Amino acid sequence: MRLTGRRWIHLVLGGALLMPFFLLAAVVLPLVADGADPLRHVGWQFVAFGCALPLGALAALLFPLLRPLEVAAVRSLCGVPAERLAEGPAVSWAARRRTALWFVAHLLTGGIVSGMTLSAPPAAVLLLLLPFSDPLQHAAPGLPDTFQGVLGPLAGLALLALVAGTSWAAGTLLGRVAPVLLGPTPADRLAAAERRAADLASRNRLARELHDAVGHALSAVTLQAGAARRVLDTDPEFARRALAAIEETTRDAVAELDTVLGLLREEDGGDPAAPAPTLDGLEALLGRTRAAGVPVEATVEGRCTGLAPVVSREAYRIVQEGLSNALRHAGPVPVRLHLGVREGELQIRVENPVAGPVAGVATGSADPAARPGGGRGLRGIAERARLLGGAATAAERDGVWRLTARLPLAGTATGTGTGTGTEQR
């Protein structure tokens, strides 16, 4: 019953929206048709009513914001779930045409129900009271004598039932048609899917940056603090060096965290607070890792300078995550890092011995439970490589954990310099 009442209010609202178009048609008709008088003649009123509907359709075509207004009214008054209705203005012409059809239907049914609501109840009350009131009988001499008996009240009740039935039928019809005409078009669904994909990509990007930036620092600090605690009494000088390394590592971590937060500001339309690290900072990264007690042997073949910024940034993060994995899962064991530019690709390889059996498989198909920590870093490496059109794998063989990545150099700003020289770091 409440839903029927709300739908009746929605129909009356449609009648109210019809009035400006009806009055405009009533003003224009006498100017274009001789003898037209919609304000006095019922026939011309119906003509003005018919002319008002195309004007409403034209308004819906020209004003895209009409759709969200109609959607809000339908959602609140017609009981249509929000997920079945479109969001936002009607941008495409297909959406505007469907909105125009809906608006015409709303105005048409609303005009009919509003007219019946205004005229039928007074007539019904007159018929109900006619047999019991002599003044009414004398005031309405044109009514047949049969209405002065039982037929009068019955006709009044029938008239009220007609208004109620018409309102119920029109409200039900609009409630069923609303998802078809006000629902999302294929273009709306595609735009919504693109927005969800962009939002998911943004969240994944921030998760990768935060994991790589903070995770590496925490792994290094954990090892440094543990080493300092063990030798605090026997080797105070080493403990002081470890504490100094912790201070430097945390300072760099704060700077990288500011970089990650800068990504948020960049997505909000602002400028990032600090540039993301690139391979130019490789020496500092290796120094922090060595300060954590991990001997790192780095080999660079060719020239890794002058790479495209995006390639250099992603390569730095991949190397950082590879070293973090060694710190986190293997501890202070020797790590071998190899970078080389070959055949238009930057090749990265990180190797370290493992203490026990590791269920290493190709990145992307690995079981997240195979290694402590859930494997989020390996998935992040695979995502970074795929975004550049490359690939990454991580596997254990013969007691050695090996991470490899290939990043295409397409879009490199300067020459790659694929020389054959080898540099030890």
Alpha-carbon distance of 179 to 91, in angstroms, equals 17
State which H helix or E strand residue 120 sits in.
helix 93-129
**Amino acid 149: pLDDT:** 66
Please give the pLDDT value at position 300.
86
pLDDT confidence of residue 375: 56
SS3 state of residue 337: strand
Q: Do 348 and 300 contact (CB within 8 A), yes or no?
A: no
Tell me, what's the pLDDT at 420?
A: 38
Q: Which residues contact 94 (CB under 8 A, 6 or more apart)?
A: 185, 187
Structure tokens of 106?
A: 């709303």
Question: 232 in helix, strand or coil?
Answer: coil
Residue with tokens 């309405």: 140
C-alpha of 241 from chain center: 48
- DSSP letter for 292, please: T
pLDDT at 28: 92
> Do the Cβ atoms of 171 and 4 come closer than 8 Å?
yes
Give dist(CA 338, CA 413) in Å, integer.
Answer: 23
- Which residue stretches of the chain have pLDDT < 70? 134-150, 212-213, 216, 260, 263-275, 305, 355-376, 411-425
> How far apart are alpha carbons 211 and 194 in whole angstroms?
25
Question: pTM for this one?
Answer: 0.55
**Is 11 within 8 Å of 171 (Cβ atoms)?**
yes
Long-range pairs for 262-265 at CB < 8 Å and ≥24 separation? 263/205, 263/206, 263/209, 264/206
* Short-list 276, 394, 387, CA closest to 324: 394
For residues 17 and 60, the answer to whether their CB atoms sit within 8 Å is no
Residue 413: per-residue pLDDT? 40
Report long-range pairs for 119-127 (Cβ below 8 Å, ≥24 apart). Answer: 120/159, 120/160, 120/162, 120/163, 121/160, 121/163, 123/156, 123/159, 124/156, 124/157, 124/159, 124/160, 125/156, 126/156, 127/152, 127/153, 127/155, 127/156, 127/159
Tally of residues, the chain:
425
The CA–CA distances, whole Å, from 262 to 221, 265, 268, 388 equal 24, 5, 10, 22
Among 207, 419, 411, 405, residue whose Cα is nearest residue 308: 411
User: Residue 60: its pLDDT value, please?
Assistant: 93
- Give CA–CA dist 54/193, Å, rounded: 34
DSSP code per residue over 31-70: HHSTT--TTT-HHHHHHHHHHHHHHHHHHHHH-TTHHHHH
Q: CA-to-CA distance for 294 and 297, rounded, in angstroms?
A: 10
SS3 216: helix
Q: CA-CA distance, 159 to 217, in Å (whole number)?
A: 81
* Count of H-run helices and E-run strands, the chain: 11, 6
Strand 335-342 with 296-301, pairing: parallel
DSSP 127-143: HHHGGG-HHHHHH-TTS
